[in-house]
Structures are given as C-alpha cells and as structure tokens.
Amino acid sequence: MSETPVKQQSTTAFYGQAVASFGVALAATALGIYNLHSDAWVRAFLGIAVLYLVTSAFTLAKVIRDRQEAGQIVSRVDQARLDKLLAAHDPYKDPGPTPQGRA
C-alpha cells in the first residue's frame, strides 16, 4: 500500500533562530548604512538596495517552496493512480481470447 508522507515541520527553536538571525542581520546592515560617512543619497540608495534584496530573497524562497509543493502534489496524484490500477488488477482473471498469431 502507499505510505502517507510525513509533513516536515521545523521546530520552534529553529524558527526562532531563523527569525532572530534575520532581525540581527537586517539591523546590523541598517546600522552600518546609517553610520556610513557618505552623502545622504548614497545611504538612501544602499538602504533601498538592501530592501530590494530582502524582498527578492523572500520571493525566491516562496517560489522555490511552491514548486516543491506542486511537485509533491503531482507525485501523490500519480501514486494514487498507480495504487488504483494495481488494486483493480487481478492476475488470475482470464484475459479473454488471445489475438490471432499469438499463442
């Protein structure tokens, strides 16, 4: 029979560590840009670039996750079709008359 895949879920500690790491990295970058000895427009440009990079990273991660989940759904549908065919197949059933020319 088919085995139901176990949904992988990260632990609370891993989730907390990921959120904390993201927060520290973003805060450190913002602090570095703020304290940069340069014109305001240069700091503003770097700030916008960092925000664009962050949103692009989130979008990329979501797209990768969505494609992986879609592949798992297709795989489960294919497995269900195969299970249905195997369940309906009776190897002891008479296949009927054989085509001419074959024994």
pLDDT at 9: 77
* pLDDT tens-digit readout, 27-38: 999 999 999 999
Using the structure block, give the residue that is written with the tokens 């494609």: 67
CA distance 21 to 24: 5
Q: Report whether 46 contacts 36 (CB < 8 A).
A: yes
pLDDT at 78: 76
What secondary structure letter does DSSP report for 89?
-
pLDDT at 48: 96
pLDDT at 49: 96
Which of the residues in the chain have pLDDT under 70?
Answer: 1-7, 74, 94-99, 101-103
pLDDT at 103: 54
What secondary structure letter does DSSP report for 1?
-
